[in-house]
Amino acid sequence: MDAQSYIGPLIDFVKANQAWAPAIIFALTFAESLAVLSLIVPAWAMIVAFGPLVGAGGIPFWPILIAAAMGAAAGDWISYWFGRYFKDSIGQIWPLSKYPDMLPKGHAFFEKWGIWAIFIGRFSGPLRASVPLVAGIVNMPQLKFQIANVVSAFIWAAALLAPGNFLGQYLNWFH
């Protein structure tokens, strides 16, 4: 079987179930951004694969982008509050306890880059899980965190989804 035999039915499924697309991408980006879930459920590849499906399925891109960014921002927001509430003891909670170097590395990165750590960390798997926690642990002002969180979530979502969406729209050219 060639790739076309898989792609066609998948695109048809996405077209038939367009109403679920924003909820699915929200859940994927939330799981990828929430500190605990991102260590258990690496959703990055599924998020990237979603772009071509959206483009080829004729699903409007903006609602998908907004849902993806809001899922990512929500995951980081909850991670921030975990850090604020649990402080330094969060490193002893599973699954974070399986990665003892993660929080110290995130803390060093946060100390070096400050608010920019929120932006930069969004694009790095291990940092994406730890930087919001550290921001909460060190009591970064919530407004400052949320501005960086939401803006970086939109940039991150667009970087992951837009190229695939563009490719998906022109998928027929490659046949």
Q: What would the two tokens of residue 8 be?
A: 């066609």
Q: What are the tens digits of pLDDT across the range 18-49?
A: 888 899 889 889 988 888 777 677 677 788 88
Q: What are the tens digits of pLDDT across the range 155-170?
A: 999 999 988 888 887 7
Domain extent listing, the chain:
3-174
Q: 46: number of CA atoms within 13 Å, CB side?
A: 15
Q: 62: number of CA atoms within 13 Å, CB side?
A: 0
Say how far apart CA 8 and CA 151 lie, in whole Å: 35
Q: Are the beta carbons of 64 and 21 closer than 8 angstroms?
A: yes
Say how far apart CA 125 and CA 94 lie, in whole Å: 18
Written as one letter, the residue type at 91 is G
Residue 2, classed as helix, strand or coil, is: coil
Mean pLDDT score across all residues of the chain: 83
91-92-94-98 Cα dihedral, nearest 10 degrees: 70
Task: Return the pLDDT at 142.
Answer: 94
Task: Return the pLDDT at 3.
Answer: 46
Q: What are the tens digits of pLDDT across the range 90-133?
A: 767 766 677 777 778 878 888 899 889 999 888 887 777 788 98
pTM: 0.84
Q: Are the beta carbons of 24 and 13 closer than 8 angstroms?
A: no
Say how far apart CA 61 and CA 162 lie, in whole Å: 8
Written as one letter, the residue type at 170 is Y
**Is 167 exposed, middle or buried (CB count within 10 Å of its CB: 0-12, 13-18, 19+)?**
middle
